[in-house]
């Protein structure tokens, strides 16, 4: 993560002392003020028991720089179930005004009781408004479908709005993420359509808000995603792989997306999309790799016609 007010100022975050099944003992940040030559670490306070908090486990760190250089961080925290107390989840936000060297007191934005859980949160500072920051995540119901939750601050992190559901048919915990377009519109990538089995694809889509998150559009479909869980051989063990990611070109408003996709073919492993501000048409960039480790890879650029038009053709360029 790069500070928009100082291109030599980097920030990173990771989970420290990861548990075997999930989560860790604490989230740790590190910052550099000389373009990555030297780094200084800081433990986020008030989370796990190792950092002065009450929570048994910490997970899902996410950073964002505000337009004025302030740094925000969100964590998922977990209280393990005991005989005396049910399992609980919460989302906690920290703010740093010195670039990540020190952090303010933790602020709890959302907390759930037994039977519900918070997961896969992302935080986005508005690049055009230093006091507006957006938080989105999945609330796991006792059984799917789950809820897509949203909160925001408009006073530089002093107060956060009460968490509210903006969609109630999320099939699984996803990589929902907000970016801000040059005209101030919020664009969020989401997963829609209940996934009954791994054979059936997820639908990756986007929703928009032109009023800072007060209201949201209906989803615009981006693609069907045939996701699979990769396993390491001997012994077979599931690999925790990544979710989708999104970025916006602030000069043009173009959107860029990447995610994992099996394409129902083992050699096709990655896909990336980009679009104009209208989100149509989307272009698909597939990376095809041979099963042999000694052969080179090739890139296929597939142009998908505008779905709003009645005619059109696809163009395939191989390199």
* 14 and 158 co-located in one domain: yes
* 275 and 222 co-located in one domain: yes
Residues 207-216 have a mean pLDDT of: 96
* 122 and 155 co-located in one domain: yes
* 147 and 201 co-located in one domain: no
Q: Report the pLDDT value the prediction gives residue 17, as an integer from 0 to 100.
A: 86
Task: Give the residue from 119, 145, 173 where a domain finishes.
Answer: 173
* 70 and 116 co-located in one domain: yes
For 231-264, what is each residue's pLDDT tens digit?
777 777 777 766 778 899 998 888 888 777 665 5
Q: How large a percentage of the chain has pLDDT more than 90?
A: 45
Q: What is the CATH number of the domain that holds 76?
A: 2.120.10.10
Q: Which residues, listed in sequence order, are joined to residue 138 by a DSSP beta bridge?
A: 119, 148
* 162 and 185 co-located in one domain: no
Q: Report the pLDDT value the prediction gives residue 269, as an integer from 0 to 100.
A: 42
Q: Report the pLDDT value the prediction gives residue 64, as an integer from 0 to 100.
A: 98
Q: Report the pLDDT value the prediction gives residue 224, as an integer from 0 to 100.
A: 79
The model's pTM is 0.81
* 122 and 189 co-located in one domain: no
pLDDT class for 229, splitting at 50, 70, 90?
A: low
CA 118/CA 58 separation, integer angstroms: 12
Residues 90-117 have a mean pLDDT of: 92
Rg (CA), the chain: 20
> How does 299-309 read in b/e, with b if 16+ C-beta sit within 10 Å?
eeeeebeeeee
**First-to-last C-alpha distance (Å) of the chain:** 31
Are 46 and 53 in contact by the 8 Å Cβ rule? The answer is yes
Across the beta sheet with 298-303, what order do the strands follow? Answer: 245-248, 255-260, 268-275, 282-288, 298-303, 315-318
Residue 115 has pLDDT above 50, yes or no: yes
Residue 184 or 230, more confident: 184
- Which of these ranges, 47-51, 88-92, 186-190, 302-306, has the smallest mean pLDDT? 302-306
Q: Where are the alpha helices (DSSP H) in the chain?
A: none
CB-count exposure of residue 250 (10 Å: 0-12, 13-18, 19+):
middle
Q: How many domains does the chain have?
A: 2
For 268-308, what is each residue's pLDDT tens digit?
444 444 444 433 444 444 433 333 333 333 333 343 333 33
Question: How high is the mean pLDDT of the chain?
Answer: 79
Listed residue (162, 153, 257, 156) closest to 212, CA to CA: 153
* 118 and 164 co-located in one domain: yes
For 7-58, what is each residue's pLDDT tens digit?
999 999 999 988 877 788 889 999 999 999 999 999 999 998 888 999 999 9
Residues 189-212 have a mean pLDDT of: 76
């Amino acid at each position: 993560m790069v500070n928009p007010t100082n291109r030599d100022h980097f920030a990173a975050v990771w989970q420290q002392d990861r548990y075997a099944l999930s989560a860790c003992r604490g989230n740790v940040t590190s910052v550099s003020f000389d373009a990555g030559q030297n780094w200084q670490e800081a433990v986020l306070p008030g989370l796990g028991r190792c950092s002065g908090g009450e929570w048994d486990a910490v997970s899902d760190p996410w950073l964002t720089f505000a337009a004025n250089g302030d740094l925000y961080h969100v964590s998922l925290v977990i209280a393990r179930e005991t005989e005396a107390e049910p399992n609980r989840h919460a989302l906690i936000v920290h703010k740093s005004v010195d670039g990540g060297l020190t952090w303010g007191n933790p602020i709890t934005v959302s907390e759930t009781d037994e039977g519900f859980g918070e997961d896969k949160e992302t935080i986005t500072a508005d690049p055009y408004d230093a006091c507006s920051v957006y938080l989105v995540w999945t609330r796991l119901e006792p059984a799917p479908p789950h809820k897509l939750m949203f909160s925001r601050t408009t006073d530089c992190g002093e107060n956060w709005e009460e968490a509210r559901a903006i969609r109630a048919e999320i099939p699984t915990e996803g990589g929902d993420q907000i970016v801000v377009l040059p005209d101030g519109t919020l664009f969020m990538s989401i997963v829609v359509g209940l996934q009954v089995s791994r054979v059936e694809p997820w639908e990756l889509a986007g929703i928009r808000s032109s009023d800072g998150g007060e209201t949201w559009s209906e989803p615009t479909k981006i693609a069907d995603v045939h996701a699979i869980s990769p396993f390491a051989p001997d012994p077979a063990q599931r690999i925790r792989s990544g979710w989708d990611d999104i970025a916006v070109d602030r000069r043009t408003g173009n959107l860029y997306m990447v995610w994992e996709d099996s394409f129902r073919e083992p050699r096709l492993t990655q896909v990336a999309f980009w679009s104009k501000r209208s989100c149509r048409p989307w272009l698909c960039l597939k990376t095809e790799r041979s099963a042999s480790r000694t052969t080179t890879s090739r890139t296929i650029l597939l142009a998908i016609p505008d779905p709003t038009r009645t005619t059109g053709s696809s163009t395939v360029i191989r390199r």
